[in-house]
Amino acid sequence: MRFLLPKLMLVLWLFSGTQSMALEVYVQDAQGTGLSNAVVALHGREPLLAPADTYRVIDQVGREFLPSVAAVQAGSWIRFPNSDDIRHHVYSFSPAKRFELKLYHGATAEPVKFDTPGQVVLGCNIHDSMVGYVYVVATPYYALTDSRGRVNIEAPAGNYQLEVQHPRSAQGVTQAVEVNQAAAELKVTLAPLAPDPRNSQPKTDLEKLFDR
């Protein structure tokens, strides 16, 4: 027993050093109102890529991308089914991922691999009001804020770079944080914010034509 006890203590110490802890983040605008759909990520020293068979889905319903904001780990694949009864033409010109899925409906489009970190803005060549966002992060420790602007991210204790991005924020926020047993809430303010482009896109003649 006297030989087993030190080994048991060593195992318990190693386990405690790698257990996950929660970091609570509140993302707000300049007036203190919580921002939903803000992407919060914790970056360690080395970038971590997703397993090769990681897939996500962004659907198209009611001429909208669902979800309108998504975050994926670098190396992930995304499928873009079209559940509308009209055809869509999905594309992105963003440097992090340029691609095009020509006119289609149903689940006929090939999945797209997102392997470069950054913001990817989605659009439809037919329906200008369709705008979506994919944030690609090279870490498994990320999440989107809820309707109140809050999120809990679990990660091993240690020092990280906290990154907060939002579709209406041009620059976002990056700062050093420590994940530990202290359960303090971290507040992040994003300002200034641009108007939501989905609320300012008039219907074009081409869009009206394909709505028939």
Q: Give the pairing type, strands 131-137 and 118-124.
A: antiparallel
Where do the domains of the chain lie? 21-210
Does the pLDDT of residue 92 top 70, yes or no?
A: yes
pLDDT of residue 60: 97
The mean pLDDT value for 102-107 works out to 94
pLDDT of residue 195: 85
The vertex-53 CA angle with 151 and 179, nearest 5°, equals 30
pLDDT of residue 7: 47
**Using 50, 70 and 90 to split pLDDT, how confident is the model at 10?**
very low
Does the pLDDT of residue 73 top 90, yes or no?
A: yes
pLDDT of residue 87: 95
Its pTM stands at: 0.84
Of 120, 97, 117, 134, nearest in space to 46 by CA: 117
Task: Please state, in angstroms and rounded to a whole number, the distance separating the CA atoms of residues 68 and 150.
Answer: 18
The mean pLDDT value for 111-134 works out to 96
- Print the SS3 string covering the chain: CCCHHHHHHHHHHHHHHHCEEEEEEEEECCCCCECCCCEEEEECCCCCCCCCCCEEECEEECCEEECCEEEEECCEEEECCECCCCCEEEEEEECCEEEEEEEECECCCCCEEECCCEEEEEEECCCCCCEEEEEEECCCCEEECCCCCEEEEEEECEEEEEEEECCCCCCCEEEEEEECCCCCEEEEECCCCCCCHHHCCCCCHHHHHHCC
Does the pLDDT of residue 130 top 90, yes or no?
A: yes
Distances (CA, A) of 156 to 52, 71, 98, 141: 23, 20, 34, 9
pLDDT of residue 9: 43
Cα 137 from chain centroid? 8
Range of weakest confidence among 2-16, 44-58, 64-78, 160-174: 2-16
Q: Considering the chain, what percentage of its residues have pLDDT values greater than 90?
A: 75
Residue 29: exposed, middle, or buried by beta-carbon count in 10 A (0-12, 13-18, 19+)?
middle
Beta bridge partners, 56, equal 78
Enter the tokens of residue 184. 């303090």
pLDDT of residue 196: 75
43 or 3: which leads in pLDDT: 43
pLDDT single digits (tens) 184-211 = 789 999 999 988 766 655 555 555 555 5
Average per-residue pLDDT for the chain: 88
pLDDT single digits (tens) 22-68 = 999 999 999 999 999 999 999 998 999 999 999 999 999 999 999 99
Class of domain 21-210: mainly beta
The mean pLDDT value for 9-14 works out to 41
Q: Give the pairing type, strands 185-189 and 20-28.
A: parallel
Task: Please state, in angstroms and rounded to a whole number, the distance separating the CA atoms of residues 197 and 171.
Answer: 17
User: Quick check: 160 and 42 in contact, CB under 8 A?
Assistant: yes
